[in-house]
Structure 1
Amino acid sequence: MVFKRRDKRPFWKVISDFLWPRGGWARAFTYVKHRLHRLPDPPHRIARGIFAGVFTTFTPFYGLHFVVAAFLAWVLRGSIPAALLGTFFGNPLTYVPIGVVSLQTGHFLLGGTGPGEDEVRRSLGGKFLDAGDDLRDNFLAMFSEREADWYSLHVFYDEVFFPYMIGGIIPGIITALICYYLSLPVIQAYQNRRKGALKAKWAALKEKKALKADAKPKQD
């Protein structure tokens, strides 16, 4: 394969790069910022896309954030590429605080007792894994005499997924609105400055051509 890595990374290196990308998270955020600035869409569409991407990180649909963000951007008539870049708001540095806030808010709104941070870590880690194990074991049970057991999935839905989904709406909207209103003037200023630079460059090019034309000797 043309684009296949020649040196296959070990598993620990894959995990390490996910938790701390090459060059650090500051470089990764700078890359995302430059990509957002260079999108060709109008500023309000890019800002709507950012809103969709940031809001999506407060949903429990891990593994589907790109799909959810693209759908929300389409509904809001925002920029889909900006929405995909906006999902980088969710990363290993922010997922735990996002999970804590979403679960606490969800349990509060649903009248339950909100879990502490340690329980959230177990919920987002252990209970996700337990639910995955249930899906795997129950799939294999279809080809054996073993009975299906959905207990861990019930626990996951009642204690994690549903409270997370409900509780992520309010902090997700608030955070996404903040990112929207912060990014809109910045993108507008950047695009205006870039348009001005392109106009100045084009004017200088035309002036240079005109001077060359004037410098040519006129034929009799």
Structure 2
Amino acid sequence: MVFKRRDRRPIWKIAVGVLYPRGGWGRAAQYVKHRLRRLPDTPEKISRGIAAGVFTSFTPFYGLHFIIAAIIARLMRGNILASLLGTFFGNPLTYIPIGVASLGTGYLMIGRPFNAALFGIGERTDDNFCGLGCRFGNAFNDIWHNLRAIFTPEKADWHGLIDFYVEVFYPYMIGGILPGAICALASYYMSVPLIAAYQKRRRSALRAKLDQLKKKTTSSRD
């Protein structure tokens, strides 16, 4: 195959690349900004796509953000590629602020006190406290155990998964709507004039180059 890598990267290098892109997150941000500016669409459609990606970053459906962003962008008649690039708003540098904002809002909406110790922030309430990583681990252990239980005499146990849904997933899901919508609207109204100005400047530059080319062609004929 022509476009297939000759040297297949090991899995650990792929994982490192997701957590910390080659060249750093600053360079990755510049790449995303460059790609967004060069998209062949109206500033409004591109900005709606960006807003869809930013909003999706506040949902707990990790691993499905690209799909969800594309669906939302489609419903909003936004640029789908812009929505995929907009999901880069959620990255290892912003996951904790996004998670704290979403879970904090979710706990407030359901009328329960939010314990920031879930993210390792603040003091733990007791020695047996189970943080976010612990709850994720318990949920995955339940899934793995219950899959094995289908083929073995072991009994299914859903306590860890139920605890994860009640304490993390559900508050995160409903709590991410408000901060996600605020950030999505902010990104939309910030992106429209910036993209419009860039596209106007780019058209002017292309027009100037075309005029220069015409002048050179005319002078060469003379």
Q: Same fold (TM over 0.5)?
A: yes
Between the two proteins, what is the percent identity of the paired residues?
A: 54
- Aligned partners of 1:79, 1:124: CA distance in 2, in Å? 34
Q: Distance in 2 between matches of 1:211 and 1:170?
A: 61
- Alignment-derived partner of residue 119 in structure 2: 120
Provide, for residues 153-198 of structure 1, a one-character-per-residue CA deviation record: whole Å limited to 9, x for no partner: 1111111111001110110011111111111111000000111111
Structure 2 residue 136 is the aligned partner of structure 1 residue 143: no
In structure 2, distance between residues paired with 1:194 and 1:10: 40
Corresponding letter in the other structure for 1:172: G
Q: How many residues align?
A: 212
Name the TM-score, length of structure 2 as normaliser.
0.89
1:4 Cα deviation after fit? 3.5
TM, length-normalised to structure 1: 0.90
Larger Rg: 1
How far apart, in 1, do the equivalents of 2:134 and 2:189 lie? 36
Deviation at 1:124, TM superposition (A): 4.0
Aligned to 1:106: 106
- Which amino acid is 1:59 matched to? T
Residue 17 of structure 1: CA displacement? Answer: 3.3
- Determine the structure 2 residue equivalent to 1:85: 85
Query: Could you list the runs of 5+ residues in structure 1 that have no partner in the other structure?
Result: 216-220
Query: How far apart, in 1, do the equivalents of 2:54 and 2:140 lie?
Result: 26
Q: CA deviation at 1:135?
A: 1.4
Of 195, 198, 201 in structure 2, the residue corresponding to residue 190 of structure 1 is: 198
Decide whether the 8 Å contact of 1:56 with 1:87 is kept in 2. yes
Gaps of 5+ in 2: 121-129
Change (3 A) 1:8 1:76: closer
Aligned counterpart for 1:129 among listed residues 112, 137, 144: 137
Instruction: Provide the residue aligned with 2:125 in structure 1.
Output: none
Q: Following TM superposition, where does structure 1 have runs of at least 4 consecutive aligned residues deviating by more than 6 angstroms?
A: none
Per the alignment, residue 180 of structure 1 pairs with 188
Which amino acid counterpart does residue 88 of structure 1 have in structure 2? F
Question: What CA deviation, in whole Å up to 9, does each residue of 1:106-164 have, x standing for no partner?
Answer: 00010111121x31356543322321221122112111111111111111111111100
- Which amino acid in 2 is paired with 1:144? T
- Looking at structure 1, the residues matched to 8 and 48 of structure 2 have their Cα atoms a distance apart, in angstroms, of 40
Q: In the TM superposition, what whole-angstrom CA distance separates every residue of 1:88-109 from its partner, at most 9, and x where no partner exists?
A: 0000110011101100110001
Q: Which moved more, 1:179-188 or 1:121-130?
A: 121-130
Deviates more, 1:194-203 or 1:80-89: 194-203
CA RMSD in angstroms comes to 1.7
The corresponding residue for 1:38 is 38
Which of 170, 186, 210 aligns to 1:202? It is: 210
For 1:12-91, list aligned pairs within 5 A: 13-91=13-91
Per the alignment, residue 123 of structure 2 pairs with none
1:120 maps to amino acid: F
| 1:6 maps to amino acid | D
